[in-house]
Structure 1
């Protein structure tokens, strides 16, 4: 519900909101320019003295106004010709034209009404309401994604557009919410939906019928400082019944032009004071620094609009359209999905359709939308979830365990949990196991024992489906047809071979960049944008299950490069190491933003062994800003499998690589990268205390040894690996 409330107003109102925000951001600059350019009155200067100075220079003066910026403007008639000017309070003489800035006036009309008068103002009011809905729903979604309001500032992972959307929203949400609320208040005043808040004293019925009081003899003008003045209107020449009208920060009143006595005075009420504050907050008039801050925050709107559209498009591509998706409150079965790359959604769609055909009402949603309060008719809860990285939940499951562990849900329906993963990874289905365990701890009855699917096995999925059907007393089959990602043809241009001497054939394979469509170039999708650490999926002949390899290159390098070691019985690796220049493969690109070096000046510690050096080499190659990089590279023998040896020497000479440490496991002095870490503990700890980021890539045993060594290095100073991970300063790409 919250997601839909956020998505559709955003897509519909995006153009209006961008126009409003950009025009508002530009308008926020003018109060500051006025404050800088306008001559300012001394704090001790009173209105009587100012009025006398201006009257002496312009005897026909009719009105004096002071803007919130401090700019004083006078209006007069001379020989029947009107005149006006910006006044220097120190002399009472003109310093600049009082004509409105044409650009400012044009932008103001655009911002207030889109040049459509009252119709436009109604559209603007609707856009402001839409902005408020987007702000509130967006804040709720950010909190949900972060795992709760207390985790508002927790690290964000996922594709660049999503991460940027959340990070910008976190900063701008207060400003955008304030802008929309103040805009709505001002619209309500415009359309008289709120009572008149101005100060309107009753015009005096009796005056002295005298004229000619000296301005410097009027007590109220003497007592009022120019800094409090808003407007002073002079009596109409020759009209003994007219009076001086004075408006200040504290109210409005009338002054007898013959005696200087105050005839009436009215002080604004609470509602008027609120309206004044809201006007200042929205326009920046009288608070130019605040105006600039609000204008800067308004610039977040086009960024949020673009990134939000990209996130929506990515979600549309990655999440299959679920047909016949019942409302959560009416469904008898709730299916929740935890997915990172989108493949688990495909299995969920197959399950959904099978259950619908069996006569059930099904509601399928991401795990992040978990809310049992809405599942009033649910008889069962089914969770399909992948495991991401080091045993953590995937993107669409953010916050699930935190909400479950709060223990606020009373109605507990029977539940079945199915984990998706790859047994070659160290923490196979660890997140799914944690979900199942926490559900049991919370008192949920298990409809089925926790089960797993290895490498997207359709056979395993069909077998689990039969067990599920039996537990439900139903009859259906799960015939899943995997959705194959869109692939491109890559042509091998060169190869370098290593490891033959130690019976571990390893090759650096370099492919030409594929041809890109105009759309891909514009939208920067597919191979139009990638960097070292992203993943390339390759379909070996005779298999529908892709194998993933870490990229050792970025788009800017002009080629696609991977490192492959021939595995015993490995279908994909066996085919890859036999490729010759000119041969082709079918591949697709998968982002892996959590294993990007990102832009920073702090040191970078790269730890890799064997083919795990591939993305690390790509990161060093791309280090054109000469960030301090320390590479710990583990291999069997220097002479047989020192991958990238030639390039590493060049990178050191160019300053791209600050320090290289090698670990030979079968050399004269055998040691592993974790041994090198311990030997260099003092230097490593110093780098980490400087804010260094640690990136580890390689086999799970190596990664476990590195984690143990890092724990030993950190513990004496009160740091922990968990802390570094939470800060995004310790990341792994483990296989």
Structure 2
């Protein structure tokens, strides 16, 4: 047997020689990519957005494109919900573009983020927040302000003061502050034309159309009227209208009034381009003094057949359709049927769809029954559940012959509770839940019902994976 001692001694000598060489050339090797210290690498800049109607996402993506380049290192853009606490604690720089909707609420793709900061410590993070809001609401830019305050409580350092942008009257000055702040922080070099570029990138195509049909869908109701409006393009040539998809929004530009700037109102589109019309479903609103709402009053009462309306198409990626092969659970009430109808019109006949819709009375408020019946008969709808809050089960057999689907007494969330087994089965098959309608009442109660039926972790997972989406107002 050969002795191992000579081989071990030789190996140690070779290893010692190699280590000596590495030590001698350590400065040269440290200049290479392989041995460059991590602290010298350009840090990743993460741009996160919380977007309800697509505007904040668009601005975030624009910002990420402008920041990207060899001098700034890698730039990543994602929804705020996708930013985990672990990832956040590793970041050095965070740029946030966040909108606010409703009574100071976070958009759905950002509502999971603030709770994650409750016990976080972020002393090494530098950040900037661009807050979007509507100055017509008292809680102007509230979510963006909450983000700024909470990040500072966690020890993060703002690169510059919070910038608030009014979506109703977007001015150049806030955007100028935004780009100047990024430049002073060393994240962007040239701001000379950036405001103009931002506004140009955010420009949206307009839809010029004339009202061709207006129909009151619930003439006998004791509630506010629900109107179907159809608009025809002025230019009937192909490509005259910018195309939209289910989930997108038509922003109406109202005629200017003396002493007041032109105002806008937003309505979820109820049709798809293949139908040849822009269809809206509008509830005639009334103010506290009884006068009609500004937007709904103009559309439902003042605009005459044949007269022109000007819309801007708002891309709403947060409510766009999933893959055609994904089962879809559509839930809504009132004028929220607009967005749900568009999704059903866009889906192929072979797709799996389940609609749960709520209104007040089956006698006066069962709208678009012919269309729903056709879709139920041809298989586009596998299940249809109709919930009526002011119906207590009387004339059930007679109503079942008149109305399609299964009738329920109560609200739409109670109809979902009655179909809990089906809900579980559809979700196990990978279904997505899409909700459209009133934020106060229906959407909030439905959120609580889903938490009761599925558990809070499951609901958060559905939100995180974008299988639970809402277009609520």
TM-score by length of 2: 0.62
Q: Judge conservation of contact 2:207–2:313 (CA < 8 Å) in 1.
A: no
Q: For the residues of structure 1 that align with 2:265 and 2:231, how far apart are their CA atoms?
A: 17
* Structure 1 residue 727: Cα displacement: 1.6
Decide which of 141, 152, 157 is 1:440's aligned counterpart. 152
What corresponds to 1:711 in structure 2? Answer: 451
Task: State how far apart, in whole Å, the 2-side matches of 1:667 and 1:428 are.
Answer: 39
Which residue in 1 is equivalent to 2:294? 571
Question: Do the aligned residues in 1 keep the contact of 2:217 with 2:225 (CA within 8 Å)?
Answer: yes
SS across alignment from 1:638: coil
Closer, same or farther in 2 for the Cα pair 1:392/1:608, shift >3 Å?
closer
Q: What's the counterpart of residue 691 of structure 1?
A: 430
Over the residues paired in the alignment, what is the CA RMSD in angstroms? 5.1
Q: How does 1:204-603 map to 2 (within 5 A)?
A: 385-387=98-100, 391-392=106-107, 407=122, 409=124, 419-422=131-134, 429=141, 431-443=143-155, 456=168, 485-500=204-219, 501-515=221-235, 521=239, 527-542=241-256, 543-569=261-287, 570-578=293-301, 579-603=303-327
Deviates more, 1:484-493 or 1:442-451: 442-451
CA contact (8 A) 2:327 2:352 kept: yes
Aligned counterpart in structure 2 of residue 671 of structure 1, from 398, 410, 413: 410
Does the C-alpha gap of structure 1 residues 720 and 394 become closer, same or farther in structure 2, counting only changes over 3 Å? Answer: closer
Aligned-partner Cα distance in 2 for 1:550–1:713: 29
In 2, Cα distance between equivalents of 1:603 and 1:654: 17
Decide whether the 8 Å contact of 1:425 with 1:734 is kept in 2.
no
Change (3 A) 1:142 1:439: closer
CA distance in 2, matches of 1:594, 1:418: 19
CA distance in 2, matches of 1:658, 1:513: 34
* Higher Cα Rg, which structure: 1
Q: How does 1:720-731 map to 2 (within 5 A)?
A: 720-731=458-469
Distance 1:444 1:534, change over 3 A: same
Question: Any conservation in 1 of the 2:348–2:380 contact (CA below 8 Å)?
Answer: yes
* Alignment coverage as a number of residue pairs: 362
Take 2:326 and 2:98, find their aligned partners in 1: how far apart are those partners? 36
Equivalent-residue separation in structure 2 for 1:727 and 1:719 (angstroms):
12
- SS of the residue corresponding to residue 241 of structure 2 reads helix
Q: CA deviation at 1:697?
A: 0.4
**Cα distance, 1:511 vs structure 2:** 1.1
Between the aligned partners of 2:53 and 2:443, the Cα distance in structure 1 is 22
RCO (CA 8 Å, sep 6+): is it higher in 1 or 2? 2
Shift of 1:639: 2.5
Alpha-carbon distance between aligned partners in 2 of 1:453 and 1:652, rounded to the nearest angstrom: 45
Q: Output the TM-score relative to the length of structure 1.
A: 0.41
**2:337 equivalent to 1:613:** yes
Cα distance in structure 1, aligned partners of 2:275 and 2:44: 35
Question: 1 CA distance for matches of 2:363 and 2:222?
Answer: 10
Question: Larger % of helix: which?
Answer: 1
**Cα distance, 1:537 vs structure 2:** 0.9
Query: 1:733 maps to what in 2?
Result: 471
SS at structure 2 position matched to 1:439? helix
Specify whether residues 550 and 449 from structure 1 end up closer, same or farther in structure 2 by C-alpha distance, changes over 3 A only: same
Cα offset for 1:667? 2.1
Tell me if structure 1 keeps the 8 A contact 2:205–2:313.
Answer: no
2:360 touches 2:389 (CA, 8 Å); kept in 1?
yes
Q: 1 CA distance for matches of 2:251 and 2:373?
A: 30
Structure 2 CA distance, aligned partners of 1:575 and 1:706? 31
| Equivalent-residue separation in structure 2 for 1:372 and 1:619 (angstroms) | 41
Q: Could you report, residue by residue, the CA deviation over 1:11-49 in whole angstroms, capped at 9, with x for unpaired residues?
A: xxxxxxxxxxxxxxxxxxxxxxxxxxxxxxxxxxxxxxx
SS at match of 2:469: strand
Residues 372, 686 of structure 1: alpha-carbon distance in 2 compared, 3 angstrom cutoff: closer
Equivalent pair of 1:514/1:527 in contact (CA under 8 Å): no
Q: Provide closer, same or farther for how the CA distance between residues 158 and 429 of structure 1 changes in structure 2, counting only shifts above 3 A.
A: closer
Cα shift readout 1:193-213 (whole Å, capped 9, x = no counterpart):
xxxxxxxxxxxxxxxxxxxxx
The equivalent of 2:32 in structure 1 is: none
Q: Distance in 2 between matches of 1:696 and 1:424?
A: 25
> Matched residues in 1 for 2:165 and 2:53: separation?
23
Q: Distance in 1 between matches of 2:436 and 2:217?
A: 19
Q: Where do 5+ consecutive residues of structure 2 fail to align?
A: 1-41, 72-76, 80-87, 178-195, 288-292, 394-408
State the Cα distance separating 1:499 from its structure 2 match: 3.5
Structure 2 SS opposite 1:641: coil
Q: C-alpha deviations, 1:315-355, integer Å up to 9, x for none? A: 89978x99xx9x9x9xxxxxxxx999xxxxxxxxxxxxxxx
Change beyond 3 A, Cα 1:567–1:339 = farther
| Partner secondary structure for residue 466 of structure 2 | coil
Q: Does 1:627 align with 2:358?
A: no
Give deviations 1:41-74, integer Å, cap 9, x for gaps: xxxxxxxxxxxxxxxxxxxxxxxxxxxxxxxxxx
After TM superposition, give the deviation of residue 585 of structure 1 in Å: 0.3
**How far did 1:430 drift?**
5.4
